[in-house]
Amino acid sequence: MEVKARAPGKIILSGEHAVVHGCTAVAASIDLYTYASLSFPSPSSENDDTLNLRLKDSGLEFSWQIERLKDALSNLGCPFPSKPISCPTESLKSISMLVEEQSIPEAKIALASGLSAFLWLYTSIQGFKPATVVINSDLPLGSGLGSSAAFCVSLSAVFLSLSDSMNKDRSQQGWLIFEDSELQLLNKWAFEGEKIIHGKPSGIDNTVSTYGNMIKFKSGDLTRIKSSLPLRMLITNTRVGRNTKALVAGVSERTLRHPDVMSSIFNAVDFISRELSAIIQSPTPDELSITEKEEKLEELMEMNQGLLQCMGVSHASIETILRTTLKYKLASKLTGAGGGGCVLTLLPSCILLFCSLPNLPVDYHFYFVVYLFVFYNDRCLDNMALRSQNSLISQQHGHR
């Protein structure tokens, strides 16, 4: 039997970095997914003593002997899928040694923390069973679109779906949606994976990837948002990689050096996020109301970007996009950790999308990767299709 799950990426409309320090943030899932599959070997299989992980997008494959995993993590005991816990320091050291044994290519060394999260989630939920896990993704790595969160959410989904903590109908084929109680458990496990990758994440990335749609998030509390107007967002990937963990740590260090100033900045971001969510949800009886709302959202995005610059997380590539979109009187801000990654641009309803986009400079398309999404009524639409954004599970049966 093979189980598959998918989890969406995300954008943060407001509140990145400040959310780590207890402030409000607003985020939405996007129509780009990470897919995970889990299969166990048949009794007659020759490959019944290893745990395999295939990363299809990077063309890499990793494997661990089950006995080696048992020796290194002998203190874990039986799996505990219904009780998410943080990886103890000693276990993390053992897992790091297991990852180092894989001889990851130097150019892909950033994958090491993801492998550590994978090993912790698998052994904690499934124990020491031989299996093959395959990952592929629409999401660019290290771009601020929540690739690591979607990775942890999709892994948690397939591992939990074949555990005793979830009562799924394993005879049913096709896509299934998790119940709210199951999503809560899944989200907690994904957060533990995120902590291994990023150190001290806020939890917003895995939460929006787990629950989908648009949310308001503060200190672990989730409020689902329904947009009363279509929000057209252009997402531009600078293709400049960055280290989320280092950027978050940099903001924390700046906070220690300038506590009063940074506290004021975080408070301002909190007000921006709360006002932004209120605007998105308020009624829009006519086109004039939509225009007025969009103008307010543009101002809030510009203010949020200015505060992110004060936190020290902007980048030359981000500033290039800001200048380019400003020429067309469009408001933009970075999304995610910054330092490169992606930039959001609000596209007002008054402009003709498919007429205006080609008018951007030729080098804009050459240097940057551009996505277009529309957010409306708790759904994310691209310009062609509509899909539910909840984490989904699919089960397939067949002989191997």
Which of 31, 49, 138, 205 is labelled catalytic?
205
C-alpha dihedral sign at 61, 65, 66, 68: negative
Separation CA 4–CA 179 (nearest Å):
17
Residue appearing with tokens 């940057």: 368
Going by DSSP bridges, is the β-strand pair 214-218/25-39 parallel, antiparallel, or unpaired?
antiparallel
Question: Any long-range contacts for 171-174 (C-beta under 8 Å, 24+ apart)?
Answer: 171/397, 172/395, 173/394, 173/395, 173/396, 173/397, 174/394, 174/395
CB-count burial class (<10 Å; 0-12, 13-18, 19+) for 180: exposed
Cα 69 to Cα 184: distance, rounded to the nearest angstrom: 28
For strands 332-335 and 342-346, give the pairing: antiparallel
Write the DSSP symbol of residue 124: H
Q: Residues 379, 242: contact at Cβ < 8 Å?
A: no
- Residue count of the chain, please give it: 400
> In angstroms, what is the C-alpha Rg of the chain?
21
205 labelled catalytic: yes
Residues 91, 73 contacting (CB under 8 angstroms): yes
Q: Please list the active-site residues.
A: 205
